[in-house]
Amino acid sequence: MKVEIDHKSGFCFGVVNAIKKAEETLDQGEKLYCLGDIVHNGMEIKRLEALGLVTIDREEYLNLKNCRVLLRAHGEPPSTYEHARANNIELIDATCPVVLKLQQRVKQAYEQMEAEDGQIILFGKKGHAEVTGLNGQTKDQSIIIEGEEDLKQVDPNKPAFLFSQTTKSIDQFQQLAQKLQENAKQPLTVKDTICRQVANRVPRMKEFASQHDILIFVGGKKSSNARFLFDVCKQTNPDSYFISNLAELDEKWFKNKQSAGICGATSTPQWLMEQVAERIKTL
């Protein structure tokens, strides 16, 4: 059987940067905390925890003092930085540059809308770390749109800015923008803030999935990007399977197949895809 890894999938540059910063800091031998999962992939988290990284939640962070804390690529609200300043916490800031720029744009738009009695609309997943960081730029006053049922929160009689979480679907964002434009009675400024490094993976995934008899998508259960990209593969190739580790591979899937493709999400490490490829070759 031919087994091929899609080398254009896997970690995006924001995740690569965050993991590099974590490894460099851990190499210095000092204790390093990470606020939230550094990446939505359990296998990679285990690898880094074996090197000494300690993953903490927000409640644990608020009880820390005099230590080092890594901020992952997703970004953080201003309150995280305020707590660090007040408690002698050294922040290793690995916020993705694309997310950091978006935070600045959301903050500027919020200040403008505050003066005009307007509103900030964020297209994204409620509770997602990136969305929490973006909402923090507006003092948690944004209207977060996850699905159509959330549209009723938008006041068509007020001016608004529309932004998107960087990893959302371009098509879905454009559909949302169109609906809001149709209902708006005041100016609506639409800002397409979707990361093209992530979005451009969709046509690549379709092409790669169509080239193989079976497709194995490797991703973390918590990753919204993984679920989204896997759906793209599944629609193109019905013989697509989502796994998070080697134990989930099923020998029956490969019966009478001539070629297998392996790909992953922006949070999937290359080493894990390579392990999956080696295991398939032994089946």
SS (H, E, C) 94-133: CCCHHHHHHHHHHHHHHHHHHHCCCEEEEECCCCCHHHHH
- Looking at domain 98-193, its CATH class is alpha beta
The reply, when asked if residue 212 is annotated as ligand binding, is no
Look at residue 224 in the predicted model and tell me its pLDDT.
Answer: 81
Q: Which residues are tagged catalytic? A: 130
How far are the Cα atoms of 54, 279, 282 from residue 3, in angstroms, in the given order? 36, 10, 11
- Dig out the tokens for 99 from the structure: 């997310």
Domain boundaries, the chain: 2-9+198-282, 13-96, 98-193
The reply, when asked if residue 233 is annotated as ligand binding, is no
The reply, when asked if residue 12 is annotated as ligand binding, is yes
The reply, when asked if residue 267 is annotated as ligand binding, is yes
How far, in Å, CA of 68 to CA of 127, rounded? Answer: 25
Whether the predicted pLDDT of 198 surpasses 90: no
The reply, when asked if residue 79 is annotated as ligand binding, is no
Q: What is the DSSP letter of 29?
A: T
- The pTM score is 0.89
Fold that domain 13-96 belongs to in CATH: Rossmann fold (3.40.50)
Whether the predicted pLDDT of 203 surpasses 90: yes
How far, in Å, CA of 107 to CA of 158, rounded? Answer: 18
How far, in Å, CA of 160 to CA of 154, rounded? Answer: 9
Percentage above 90 pLDDT, the chain = 92
Whether the predicted pLDDT of 249 surpasses 90: yes
What angle is formed at CA 200 by the lines to CA 77 and CA 175, rounded to 5 degrees?
70
Whether 13-96 shares its CATH topology with 98-193 is answered no
How far are the Cα atoms of 107, 138, 153 from residue 141, in angstroms, in the given order? 11, 5, 12
- Looking at domain 2-9+198-282, its CATH class is alpha beta
| Per-residue pLDDT band at 283 (split at 50, 70, 90) | confident
Whether the predicted pLDDT of 108 surpasses 90: yes
